[in-house]
Every structure is written in C-alpha cells, then in structure tokens.
C-alpha cells in the first residue's frame, strides 16, 4: 500500500531520533528529514540503517539493526543445517529469539516447532549453555541424535549431552558426570529428569531453555515453573517480587468486584511500583531466554503460571479446540446398526474411528467387522501396540466409547491417519435424577436447556445453581470418589452440597406438571422411560466436538478436512445437538448423508492426509503446498482491548505476550499465526497548544514546517500551521497513564511512565510478515488505522486495512481474506472535522471563556445549535400555560395537553361528549431495524438510561460479538442478517411469520443497521453465558441484556409479517375544546407485535355525553428529552452517529443543562441560557443550523471523494479569521453566568 500522505507532523515519532517527523517521510518508510536527506530512497529498512550509520546518525534504530543481524545469523544457520530456509511461523520465532525474548509456541503439526528449537539451541549455545526438555526418552534421544547431525552439518564444535532411559547404564552414569562438571554446551533431558536432578542442573546458569511440551513439564508439579526460572538466572528475590505482584493482582480483582474503585486504584499504584522494581531486578540479572512449546490443558492452569507473565512477559495458551473443518453428516440408524457401520466403513475406507455408546456393543461390533475381513480393533483403554498398528496401516478402524473421558476422544492425535469418525448413536447424557448418577456436565446441560421453559422465579434459582456447578466443574474427576466415600474436608462438603442441591432441584422440576409438559414439548430435552425408570436424554456436544475433531487438525497447510457421520438413534437429541453446535460455531452445517457428495469430500480429505504425511517425512517442504505463504505471521491491530480478546478467543485460548506493559494475544487461525493487540483508541491528538510541548520539539517543528502570515492567526494556539501549500496539523502522542490520558507534554505527571503504544506496535511489527489494521469501520477508525500505518511503515512493507461490521469468527476470517488499502478520503474527512473543531471549537470556547470568566466553558458548531433547541423549547413552553391531563372515561384513559381555561372548566363540570368517527381494520408495518439515533432514543425512553450509557453498552455488545457495528445511519440488512432472522423467527413463531426485508433501498456503503449477529434472544443469551457455553470477555450487566433485548426484538420484528389491528377514531368535545383521539382497540393478527410491542391495545370509549374524571394533572412544561434531541439531530442533519451521545454529554458536563427523570428531560440552566444568547447574538452566522448542516454536507462530500479537503479547509479558515479572530464579542452580563 503506497499513497500520498496528508500533510502533518507527528511529534516524538521519528523512528530514529524520536523527535518530530513529517507524515510523507513516514509514508515512504523513512525517518525525519533531519536524520536522512530527502533524496534517500525509502522502503528497505536495512538500507536506511546503513545510510544512517554512514552519516553517523544511527540512534534509536540501532537495536533493530542488531536484531536484524542476529536474525540473519539464525536464518543462515537454519538453512545450513536443515537444508532449506525458514518459513511462516519459524520466521516469527526467529525474530523474537534474535531480540532476546522469551515466548510461547503453539503451532500445528508439521510447522517445524521441534526443528526450530534444535536450531535455536545450536545458535544460543554460542552465548552460554542451552537446555532442551522433552516429554519422553524416545523424543529426547531423537533430538540428541538430530542435534549431533545438525552440528556436524553446520561445522559447529559443540559439546552435546543427553540423559534419558534409552541410554545404557554406563552411558547414563557418564552423562551425569558431564552434567555435574558442566562438560556440555547443549543438554537434552526429559521432563522427569528436571525435578529428580534439579540440584545438579542448578549448578549452572542457562542462556537458553526450551520445553518441547510445556504441559508435560508441569504435569508432575507446578513447582517446575520455579525450577525453570531459576535455571535461567532468576533469584529467590525475583520470584518473591513476582509472587507479590500476583497477590496484588488478586487483591485488585477483589476490590473491583466489590465496587471499591479507590482501593483498586491504590493497589494499582502498588502494582506499578512493584513492577518497576521487578523490571530493574531483571535488567541487572540478564535472564536467559525461555521458549515454551505446546499448549496447556485447562485443568493445568495454576497461579504459578503467572510467574511466566511477570518475569518473562508471556502467558502459555491452551489447545485450539474451537478450530474444526469437519463435514458433519447424519443418517437414520437402521434396525441392524452393525451391518450399517460395516457398509459405511467399506465405503469410507481406512483411517476411521467408530464411537459407540456401550462397551459390550462395541466389542460385538468389532467382532462383526473382523468377521467381514475389516481390520478393526477396540480401544476402550490405551493399548500402545494397537495404536501403532493403526498408525502403520495394519488396522483400518478403531472402536471406542463416545465419552469425554475416552482415550479415542481425547488421547489420540494422528492427523496423517484419521480421516473420518462414525458415531453409532448420538453422544449423549443419559441419566436419572439420582445422586449416584450425578455428573457436573450432565446437570449443567440439563439446567441450561430447561431454564428457557421455567417461570421467572425458578429460572433465577436455576441460574444460581448453574453458577455453583460451574465453580465445581474443574473438580469433576474427584466427584465419583466423594459421592462414593463421602466428604473428608470442608471443600468436599461444599461439592457434595452442590451435587445434592442440583439433584433436588431437578427432581422438583420434574414433579411439576407445567414444567414437565413444557420439557416434553421442547426441542432440546428428551424424557424417556426405560422400564419404569425416568431418564433424561441430552446431547453431549463436548464429546461430539472432541471426537469429530480427531479428523480435523492444524497442520502446516492449514486446518485439515475431516468427516463425521452420525447414525441417528433419536431425532430430538439430534436437533438439540445441531442447535448447540450452531451456538458454538459460526459455520457449522449438518447435512443428510444421502445428499452429500461423498466422493468429493473424501478426495479433499485424502489430499490433506497425503500432504501431512509428506511434511512429516520430510518429502514435502511447506512452501511447496501452495503459492500462498502458509502459516505466515500477521499482526492484527484493533482499537479496543475487549475486541482484541474477543477475536483471539475465536481460535482457542491464546498465548499472551506483555510488550511495554500492553497485552497482545497470539493464536493460530489455521493458516496463519495471528497476534492481536489494541491501541486503546486514538494514539495521536492535536496538543492544546504548541507552548505546552517540549522546547526542543517545538523548535524542530519550526525547522520542518514553514508557516505563512495569516493576520491574527497564531499556529501556536491551535497546533495547525498555515503554509503556502495548505495546512499542517501537528499531532502529539496521547500519553496513557493509570490515572488518565494527556495530550500535552507539560501535563504528564512526573510519577507516570506512560504506555509507549507506538514503540510496542513497532516492536511487534518488526517481528511479523504482515500487519492488518482492523479498527472500526468509520472515519474515526480509518484515522486510527492511518496513524498506525504511518508509525509502522518504516518497519514493515506489507500493511493492509481490513473491515468488518460484526465481531464474529466468520466476519474476521472473511476480512482477513479480503484486505484493502487505507481510504484516504475518509482520513481527510476526519482530519477536516478535527481541524474545524479545533479552530471553531477552541476559538469560540476562548471567546466564551473570556466573556464569562470561566475557563471550562465551551462552544461548537454542533453543540451550540443543539443547546439552542433546548433553550427555545423551554422558553416557549414557559410562555404557554398548559396542563398535562389524564382523563378517565369509563374503563379507558386518555392523555391530553389542555389549555388552562379548559382544564379549569373540566375540573368543575367533569363532562365530555365522545363521538365515534370511524372504526376500521388497518395493517401496521413493522419499524425498520435500529440506526444509532433510533437505538439511543429507545434506550433512553424504554430503559431509562442516558444516551452516553446506551452507546457505551452498544460498544461493549459490538466488541463482544453480539451485535453489528452500532454507529450507523443505515437501515440496510445483509443476506447474512436475513439468514439470522429466518432461523429465529421460523423456530420461535413458525415459517409463515417470516417476511424478509432488506430495507435501506438505495443506501451507499457497506454499513448495516444495528442487529444481532446470531439467532439468540436475550433470555437464551443469559442462559448460555450462565452455563459457560458463551464466555464473553466482559461481565454483562442487566442493562447489557436489556439493550440487547431491544436491538434483538426490533430487528426480528423488521423481518416479520405486518400486524392487523382495529383502529377506532373518536372526536372529543370538552366545553368548546375539540380533540381527535385515535387508538388501537383490537389485534386481529399479531404479526411482528409478537416480538416488538410498538402499539398497545386500549378499550373502546363509550359514545355520547359521558362523565369524565381527572386521574392526573400537572402543569405542562414541554421539555426536550434526550430522545427528542437525538431525533432532531438525525432529522435536521446535525451531528453524526459517532458524536450524538458525546454532544449531549458535553452539554451536561459544562453545566448548560441538567438531566431529570426517567425520560432524561434536558432542562437548560441559567448558565446555558446565557451562553446560548451570547453566542447567538455575537456569532450567530457560525452556529446557526443552516451553516452547520452545510458543513456536514461538505465533510460527507470529502469522505465520499466528491470535494477537496483543502478547499473545505480554505473556506473554514477564511470564515474563522473573519467571524472569530477578527471579531470581538460582547462581555457577559454583569452578575450572570460568571458567578455560577
């Protein structure tokens, strides 16, 4: 991506000197023009470094130069000893090793992890001793032999030693002697050796330690973490400080949970202090490099693992169970399932696993297959020889249990062998509601599924019980013993109490007739009698995912294809399984076996297996697989930490790196290594004044930019320089400290060490093959992406923009596959808005502050007209004397605004004449899905929250993957959205209730309306979160669920049939005052009203002269609510979706309005009225509605490429000079707002 950068200067951002740098230099991949002359060509960082070195000007790029040199050394060694160049992920790891970083490696089969560890040991042995830890003696011995070979090929004179059980006794004795004497450069050991002979190892400090399977190292004891750190040079003092940090982190978490923000802030300062002390200790010790290869089992995660984070700066992730590329097929089970399985195996061939529900049936099936000359064997317990025969092709299929504890479900990883699985019956939980049959997964599944049909009180109890079950879930393995032998301590008593409570609650539910009937008619739970015993049947989705996942594994070519066939023994359980699978995976699709193209499926599966076998045997190099660079490393930059965590979670439990105090999440997507990091919003802003930046930096600004005289305008005051060519904004880094963010150098607290986001991004970018910018899909997001692009351009050549409108796995994968360039028109539009806000906002604000003597006052092109609406409505309302009156007529009520005289007369006589004008049937069309302003209006009116809170909640829901992008003025719905609605409406209301509409006809752009990303309503979402099926990266509050419910129902209504209602129209006469009343008196066809109640049915009114009772009356002051103002902003073209809430928040924060009542009425204060009058009288031309609307149109034209941004800035600057700088406003009235 190359483009002509918009003129700008970025302070403290030159990659070499750290000073101000021109935007065009950054875009060309160059440091500032003072570091290198203009004629130097950019694009090649090595050539730039050499040019700087020749000029004796190499400064902050010197460490990168050293890293590049070491990377080339590693690459050269790799090619010499292995025979080919590093590829994909190996390049990423080599760059980190060259930088002296410790890190975790989780990568697929065939990605060259072990080879890389061996080459790394050879390279690091030149800097000190290296230690390699393998899970088994066989692997350790193989690695030792290969190291000897590699060392010979590389011409390295290294002493390589090993200790493992494959050595002869005298060889083991000799190895121990060498280890004791330090007679080695590289030592290869097993996991078992580490604790047994640690005292021997501890005599030496290691420059490099790597574990080939970190899970096996920790399996024996988590204390091995401390042992490994001590071998790298960590002292007891360092470990103690790290443990102190871990404990402080726990205390901060508890304080936040308790809502004690002051205590949390105090602990945060303690953490910062302790972290700085630990950093200094680490620098003094110069710890060795540690590489942890492999993933951790979930149950293996302990507090000690945080030592890796605090001391070495990374976390070890978990297995990527969520990645699968499986064809899910099903067929009805025949009366002879054994014969049916045999036919399937003959059709599918070798490399199969058959999962059965019963051990005895499995043995019979195995014998049946063997009798038909099918090479089969059962595998109900680990049998090494059977597994070896299967791997070598001597057996075609293995038969095992469909259970999460089965060795064939979890304990086998043969991606080059396993092609398909067959489930003889759906894996399921089948249990009675008895304590001796209790299991946590089964009862969790039951309560999650049953909660949807429970009344509110029972649903609340179910949710509390689900939470307790989730707490004891990690201890399920001990549960059988506790149930059998009883509790032996207080914790086991708690576990037993939870189990008893779950059983009692389930039994109580099944004893209730209404609940029992609801369960029997549901699609998720099956009740059946076996003999006279009642059993509950539920799908065991976890076992299905893990079992079918044996066929689809990550390898160097991506995610291998696999096949799963279910012989369906219960259609209801199948439907429930499909439903749960669809909730867990975006792209899962079940298909009938008879309709699938089996030949084509098998060809693809076999192609992947052949590639995996060739990679493992060394006959195929990864780069030969495709013209694509497989498993390349990609840095994905987003703006929100929540969004970063959500995206990373789609691909399993990520590794975490801590770079410069910022977390980055690393996962494998199947064909790339993805590192996700957040900028935490904008990273640059205009300083409030150039006087408030450092003097040396300010002097450099005037050397790089030549201003032209422009009357009374001073660029020092506005941080925008007028030049002969146009305008140059001066951007400063946003300093982000624990207590707040700052844009001026002089404001940064002395005790703050701000996050250096730019340096962190540059460090990560220098390690990867490509950078993708995934900020929000609007002009603000485009500007963040543009700024990041400029900061990273000197460090990496391939930088692309990706755009997604929902945070789902499907959307992210689609965006990664279709990157684009930065949209400069959108960046220009954002730049114009920011400059206009600085000129007009700062200029008018200073006039207001001078006139009223208050430094915090403000004004703006949008803010002031909106304040005017509020003031004028308030004043007009006070001039009229009206009453808000609720009349009770018979059983009905009518609300009217009555003049004072009519109200007084009605109080006296209490009579009215009612006439029926007409009554007719009408069709009511559903409302369109939400735009930003409509959503905020409903959130304010219906939920009683502020517009600002509504937007914050929508931001959380978007970043957590629950709704599409929430800053939009479009009502358009995509085909994906229509599919979401079709599934939900058909399931909940029947297929006839669905009526698809795309809305937004003729709208430009890719934006959609706000809609849910999945067909899950708010109540089901609450249950899924409670049960742990969905695990959001933030805590969802009651308001989150309420806002989601609004969005969900409004969208579903927009895709449903119209309602048919009876409307009655009445004439009402109140002593000469006449009014017309229209009300819905009957619903004939509910249609969309079943989801979104936009009208209420009211009783018919009696006709004739009737008695009237005043039920409620109050003096009416017709104020604007926040919802009213939002509607007016949209209708009148003032403001944008991204700024609606901010405008209202500023008016309140400045004390111009106060917010009252549930409907959030906006009442102008005395200060607000005086400020508005002052601005209207003195600067009315600038802040009137028409001019503001015209400027919005100009900026839209810039964004769409229809108008030059420089031309717009010229007009704005002329207006600013004439209407603000050259004009003196009158002072505020004496005794006015200045005293408030």
DSSP assignments along 1054-1092, one per residue: HTBPPEEEEEEEEEEEETTEEEEEEEEEEEEE-GGGGT-
- Quote the pLDDT of residue 1229: 47
Say if residues 773 and 790 touch (Cβ distance below 8 Å): no
- Quote the pLDDT of residue 300: 47
Same fold, 65-234+287-315 and 326-427+557-624: yes
User: Strand order in 672-678's β-sheet?
Assistant: 314-315, 655-659, 662-668, 672-678, 632-638, 770-773, 799-801
Residue 893 tokens, joined: 């009520």
Helix (H, G, I), strand (E, B) or coil at 1153: strand
Percent of the chain predicted with pLDDT > 90: 59
**If we measure between CA atoms, which residue out of 973, 967, 962 comes closest to residue 933?**
967
- Quote the pLDDT of residue 876: 87
- How far is residue 142's CA from residue 118's CA, in Å, rounded to a whole number? 11
- How far is residue 1150's CA from residue 1168's CA, in Å, rounded to a whole number? 8
CB neighbour burial string for 46-58, b if at least 16 within 10 angstroms, e if fewer: eebbebbeeeeeb
Say if residues 936 and 1140 touch (Cβ distance below 8 Å): yes
**If we measure between CA atoms, which residue out of 44, 101, 98 comes closest to residue 66?**
98
Helix (H, G, I), strand (E, B) or coil at 162: strand
From residue 892, alpha-carbon distances to 889, 902, 910, 1111, 1114 in Å are 5, 20, 15, 11, 19
Say if residues 554 and 320 touch (Cβ distance below 8 Å): yes
- Which contacts qualify for 786-790: CB closer than 8 Å, 24 or more apart? 786/822, 786/824, 786/827, 787/10, 787/682, 787/683, 787/684, 787/731, 788/637, 788/679, 788/683, 788/761, 789/1, 789/27, 789/822, 790/5, 790/10, 790/23, 790/26, 790/27
Instruction: Please report the DSSP string for 402-456 in residue order.
Output: -STT-HHHHS---TTT--EEEEES--EEEE-S-GGG--HHHHHHHHHHHGGGS-H
- Quote the pLDDT of residue 677: 97
- Quote the pLDDT of residue 200: 94
- Quote the pLDDT of residue 1233: 37
CB neighbour burial string for 1003-1034, b if at least 16 within 10 angstroms, e if fewer: eeeebbbbbbbbbbbbebbbbbbbbebbebbe
Q: Environment class of residue 971 by beta-carbon count within 10 Å: exposed (0-12), middle (13-18) or buried (19+)?
A: buried
**Left if phi > 0, otherwise alpha if psi is -120 to 50, otherwise beta: which for 759?**
alpha
1223 vs 684, which has greater pLDDT?
Answer: 684
Question: CATH classification of 826-878+1119-1235 is 1.10.460.10, yes or no?
Answer: yes
**What is the helix (H) or strand (E) element at residue 898, kind and residue range?**
strand 892-899
Question: CATH classification of 932-1057 is 3.40.50.2300, yes or no?
Answer: no
- Which of the residue ranges 219-228, 408-417, 459-468, 472-481 has the most confident prediction, judged by mean pLDDT? 459-468
Residue 245 tokens, joined: 């940090």
Q: Which residues pair with 314 in a beta bridge?
A: 657
β-bridge pairing 672-678 and 655-659: unpaired
- How far is residue 528's CA from residue 526's CA, in Å, rounded to a whole number? 6
- Which of the residue ranges 218-232, 324-338, 892-906 has the most confident prediction, judged by mean pLDDT? 324-338
Q: What are the backbone angles phi and psi of residue 1120, rounded to the nearest 5°?
A: -90, 130
Residue 971 tokens, joined: 């009502």
- How far is residue 116's CA from residue 672's CA, in Å, rounded to a whole number? 17
106 vs 575, which has greater pLDDT?
Answer: 575
CATH architecture of the domain with range 326-427+557-624? 3-Layer(aba) Sandwich (3.40)
Fold exhibited by the domain 65-234+287-315 = Rossmann fold (3.40.50)
Say if residues 769 and 634 touch (Cβ distance below 8 Å): yes
Which tens digit of pLDDT belongs to each residue from 1170-1186?
Answer: 999 999 999 988 888 88
Say if residues 337 and 344 touch (Cβ distance below 8 Å): no
Whether pLDDT at 302 is above 70 = no
**Sign, Cα dihedral of 102, 108, 111, 115:** positive
SS3 string of 98-145?
HCCCCEEECCCECCCHHHHHHHHHHHHCCCCEEEEEECCHHHHHHHHH
**If we measure between CA atoms, which residue out of 148, 198, 185, 142 comes closest to residue 166?**
142
Which tens digit of pLDDT belongs to each residue from 435-445?
Answer: 888 988 889 88
- Quote the pLDDT of residue 1235: 29
Helix (H, G, I), strand (E, B) or coil at 1046: helix
Say if residues 9 and 827 touch (Cβ distance below 8 Å): no
**Sign, Cα dihedral of 705, 710, 715, 718:** negative
The count of other CB atoms within 10 Å of the CB of residue 218 is: 24
**What is the helix (H) or strand (E) element at residue 973, kind and residue range?**
none
Which tens digit of pLDDT belongs to each residue from 1152-1162?
Answer: 999 988 889 99
Whether pLDDT at 1236 is above 50 = no
Q: What are the backbone angles phi and psi of residue 1031, rounded to the nearest 5°?
A: -125, 85
Which tens digit of pLDDT belongs to each residue from 891-900?
Answer: 788 988 888 8
- How far is residue 580's CA from residue 449's CA, in Å, rounded to a whole number? 10
State the average pLDDT over residues 773-789.
Answer: 96
- How far is residue 917's CA from residue 1078's CA, in Å, rounded to a whole number? 10
Say if residues 732 and 744 touch (Cβ distance below 8 Å): yes
State the average pLDDT over residues 586-599.
Answer: 92
Indicate the DSSP class of residue 373: T
Catalytic residue among 965, 984, 1172, 1179: 965
Q: Which residue is listed with tokens 């909660």?
A: 451
CA dihedral 343, 348, 349, 354 (to 10 degrees): -70
pLDDT-wise least confident of 256-260, 429-433, 642-646 = 256-260
pLDDT-wise least confident of 168-172, 302-306, 1131-1135, 1199-1203 = 302-306
- How far is residue 673's CA from residue 666's CA, in Å, rounded to a whole number? 7
Whether pLDDT at 627 is above 50 = no
State the average pLDDT over residues 485-508.
Answer: 89
When computed from its CA atoms, the radius of gyration of the chain, rounded to whole angstroms, is: 35
The mean pLDDT of the chain is 89
- How far is residue 601's CA from residue 596's CA, in Å, rounded to a whole number? 8
- How far is residue 649's CA from residue 320's CA, in Å, rounded to a whole number? 9
- How far is residue 124's CA from residue 113's CA, in Å, rounded to a whole number? 16
- How far is residue 754's CA from residue 743's CA, in Å, rounded to a whole number? 11
**If we measure between CA atoms, which residue out of 679, 1102, 1161 comes closest to residue 893?**
1102
**If we measure between CA atoms, which residue out of 151, 79, 90, 152 comes closest to residue 121?**
151
Whether pLDDT at 303 is above 80 = no
Q: Which residues pair with 162 in a beta bridge?
A: 188
- pLDDT bucket at 1234, cuts 50 / 70 / 90: very low
Whether pLDDT at 818 is above 60 = yes
For the chain, domain boundaries: 1-60+681-752, 65-234+287-315, 326-427+557-624, 433-539, 826-878+1119-1235, 932-1057
| pTM as predicted | 0.88
Q: Alpha helices, DSSP H only, in 721-808? A: 757-765, 779-792
pLDDT-wise least confident of 169-173, 199-203, 738-742, 1012-1016 = 738-742
> In Å, how far from its chain's centre is CA 1033?
7
State the average pLDDT over residues 709-729.
Answer: 93
**If we measure between CA atoms, which residue out of 311, 314, 315 comes closest to residue 238?**
311
- Quote the pLDDT of residue 1230: 41
SS3 string of 447-465?
HHHHHHHCCHHHHHHHHHH
Whether pLDDT at 1224 is above 80 = no
**Left if phi > 0, otherwise alpha if psi is -120 to 50, otherwise beta: which for 680?**
left
- pLDDT bucket at 314, cuts 50 / 70 / 90: confident
Helix (H, G, I), strand (E, B) or coil at 193: helix
Task: Specify whether 965 is catalytic.
Answer: yes
527 vs 360, which has greater pLDDT?
Answer: 360
**What is the helix (H) or strand (E) element at residue 537, kind and residue range?**
strand 533-539
- How far is residue 58's CA from residue 61's CA, in Å, rounded to a whole number? 6
- pLDDT bucket at 942, cuts 50 / 70 / 90: very high
């Amino acid at each position: 991506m190359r483009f002509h950068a918009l003129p700008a200067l970025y302070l403290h951002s030159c990659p070499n000197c750290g000073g101000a740098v021109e935007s065009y230099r950054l875009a060309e991949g160059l440091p500032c023009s003072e570091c290198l002359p203009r004629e130097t060509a950019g694009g090649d960082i090595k050539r730039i470094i050499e040019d700087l070195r020749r000029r004796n000007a190499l400064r902050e790029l010197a460490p990168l130069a050293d890293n590049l040199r070491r990377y080339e050394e590693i690459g050269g060694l790799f090619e010499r000893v292995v025979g080919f160049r590093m590829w994909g992920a190996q390049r990423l790891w080599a760059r980190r090793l060259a930088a002296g970083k410790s890190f975790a490696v989780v990568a697929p089969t065939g990605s060259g992890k072990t080879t890389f560890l061996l080459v790394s040991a050879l390279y690091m042995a030149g800097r000190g001793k290296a230690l390699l830890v393998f899970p088994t003696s066989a692997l350790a011995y193989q690695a030792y032999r290969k190291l000897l070979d590699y060392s010979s090929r590389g011409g390295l004179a290294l002493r390589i030693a090993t200790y493992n059980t494959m050595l002869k006794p005298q060889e083991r004795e000799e190895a121990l002697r060498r280890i004791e004497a330090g007679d080695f450069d590289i030592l290869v050991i097993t996991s078992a050796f580490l604790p047994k002979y640690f005292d021997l190892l501890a005599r030496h400090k290691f420059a490099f330690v790597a574990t080939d399977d970190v899970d096996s190292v920790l399996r024996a004891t988590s204390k091995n973490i401390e042992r490994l750190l001590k071998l790298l040079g960590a002292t007891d003092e360092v470990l103690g400080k790290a443990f102190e940090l871990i404990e402080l982190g726990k205390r901060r978490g508890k304080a936040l949970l308790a809502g004690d923000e002051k205590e949390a802030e105090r602990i945060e300062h303690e953490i910062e202090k302790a972290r700085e002390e630990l950093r200094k200790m680490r620098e003094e010790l110069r710890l060795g490099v540690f590489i942890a290869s492999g993933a951790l089992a979930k149950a293996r995660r302990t507090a000690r693992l945080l030592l890796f984070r605090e001391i070495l700066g990374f976390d070890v992730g978990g297995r990527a169970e969520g990645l699968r590329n499986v064809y899910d097929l099903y067929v009805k089970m025949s009366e002879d399932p054994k014969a049916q399985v045999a036919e399937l195996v003959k059709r599918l061939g070798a490399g199969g696993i058959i999962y059965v529900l019963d051990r005895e049936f499995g043995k019979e099936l195995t014998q049946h297959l063997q009798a038909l000359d099918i090479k089969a064997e059962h595998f109900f317990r680990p049998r090494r020889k059977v597994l070896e025969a299967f791997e070598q092709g001597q057996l075609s299929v293995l038969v095992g249990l469909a259970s999460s504890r089965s060795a064939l479900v979890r304990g086998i990883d043969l991606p080059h062998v396993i092609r398909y699985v067959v489930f003889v019956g759906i894996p399921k939980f089948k249990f009675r509601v008895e304590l001796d049959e209790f299991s946590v997964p089964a009862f969790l599944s039951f309560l999650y599924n049953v909660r949807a049909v429970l009344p509110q009180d029972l649903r609340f109890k179910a949710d509390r019980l689900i939470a307790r079950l989730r707490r004891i879930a990690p201890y399920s393995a001990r549960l059988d013993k506790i149930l059998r032998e009883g509790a032996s301590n207080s914790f086991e008593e708690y576990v037993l109490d939870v189990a008893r409570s779950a059983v009692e609650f389930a039994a109580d539910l099944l004893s209730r007739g209404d609940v029992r009937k609801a369960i029997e008619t549901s699609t998720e739970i099956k009740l059946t009698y076996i003999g006279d015993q009642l059993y509950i049947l539920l799908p065991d989705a976890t076992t299905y995912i893990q079992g079918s996942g044996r066929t689809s594994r990550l390898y160097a070519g991506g995610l291998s294809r696999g096949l799963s066939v279910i012989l369906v023994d219960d259609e209801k359980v199948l439907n429930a399984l499909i439903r749960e699978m669809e909730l867990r995976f975006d792209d899962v699709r079940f298909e009938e076996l008879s309709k699938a193209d089996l030949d084509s499926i098998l060809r693809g599966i076999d192609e992947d297996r052949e590639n995996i076998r060739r990679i493992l045997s060394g006959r195929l190099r990864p780069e030969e697989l495709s013209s694509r660079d497989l498993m390349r490393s990609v840095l994905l930059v987003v703006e929100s930490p929540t969004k970063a965590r959500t995206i990373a979670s789609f691909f399993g439990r990520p590794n975490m790196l801590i770079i410069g105090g910022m977390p980055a999440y690393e996962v494998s997507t199947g064909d790339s290594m993805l590192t996700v990091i957040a900028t935490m919003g904008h990273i640059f802003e205009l300083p409030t004044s150039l006087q408030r930046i450092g003097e040396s930096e300010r002097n450099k600004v005037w050397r790089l930019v030549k201003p032209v005289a422009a009357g009374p305008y001073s660029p020092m005051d506005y941080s925008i320089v007028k030049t002969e060519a146009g305008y140059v904004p001066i951007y400063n880094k946003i300093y982000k400290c624990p207590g707040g963010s700052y844009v001026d150098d002089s404001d940064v607290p002395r005790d703050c060490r701000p996050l250096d986001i730019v340096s962190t991004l540059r460090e990560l970018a220098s390690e990867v093959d490509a950078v993708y910018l995934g900020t929000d899909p609007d002009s603000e997001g485009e500007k963040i992406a543009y700024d990041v692009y400029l900061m990273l351009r000197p460090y990496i050549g391939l930088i692309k923009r990706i755009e997604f409108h929902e945070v789902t796995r499907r959307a992210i994968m689609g965006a990664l596959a279709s990157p684009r360039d930065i949209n400069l028109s959108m960046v220009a539009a954002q730049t114009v808005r920011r400059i206009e806000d600085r000129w007009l906002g700062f200029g008018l604000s200073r006039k207001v502050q001078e006139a009223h003597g208050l430094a915090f006052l403000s004004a703006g092109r949008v803010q002031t007209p909106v304040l005017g609406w509020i003031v004028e409505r308030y004043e007009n309302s006070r001039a009229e004397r009206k009453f808000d009156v609720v009349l009770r007529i018979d059983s009905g009520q009518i609300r009217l605004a009555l003049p004072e005289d009519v109200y007084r007369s009605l109080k006296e006589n209490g009579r009215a004449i009612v006439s029926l004008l007409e009554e007719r049937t009408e069709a009511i069309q559903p409302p369109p899905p939400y735009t930003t302003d409509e959503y905020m209006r409903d959130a304010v009116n219906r939920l009683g929250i502020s517009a600002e809170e509504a937007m914050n909640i929508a931001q959380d829901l978007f970043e957590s993957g629950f709704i599409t992008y929430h800053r939009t003025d479009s009502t358009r719905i995509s085909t994906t959205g229509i599919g979401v609605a079709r599934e939900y409406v058909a399931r909940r209301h029947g297929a006839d209730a669905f009526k698809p509409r795309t809305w937004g006809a003729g709208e430009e752009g890719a934006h959609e309306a706000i809609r849910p990303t999945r067909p899950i309503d708010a109540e089901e979402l609450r249950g899924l979160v409670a049960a742990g099926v969905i695990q959001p990266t933030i805590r969802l509050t009651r308001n989150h669920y309420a806002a989601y419910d609004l969005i969900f129902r409004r969208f579903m209504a927009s895709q449903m049939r119209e309602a048919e209602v009876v409307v009655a129209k009445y004439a009402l006469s109140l002593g000469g005052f006449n009014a017309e009343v229209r009300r819905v008196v009957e619903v004939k066809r509910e249609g969309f009203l079943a989801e979104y109640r936009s009208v209420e049915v009211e009783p018919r009114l009696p006709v004739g002269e009737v008695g009237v009772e005043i039920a409620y009356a109050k003096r009416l002051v017709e104020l604007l609510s926040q919802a009213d103002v939002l509607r007016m902003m949209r209708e009148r073209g003032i403001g944008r979706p991204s700024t609606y809430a901010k405008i209202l928040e500023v008016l309140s924060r400045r004390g111009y309005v106060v917010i009252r009542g549930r409907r959030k009425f906006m009442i102008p204060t005395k200060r607000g009225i005086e400020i508005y009058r002052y601005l209207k009288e003195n600067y009315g031309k600038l802040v009137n509605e028409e001019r503001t609307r015209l400027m919005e149109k100009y900026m839209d034209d810039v964004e769409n490429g229809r108008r030059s941004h420089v031309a717009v800035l010229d007009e704005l600057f002329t207006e600013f000079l004439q209407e603000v700088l050259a004009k003196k406003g009158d002072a505020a009235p004496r005794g006015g707002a200045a005293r408030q």
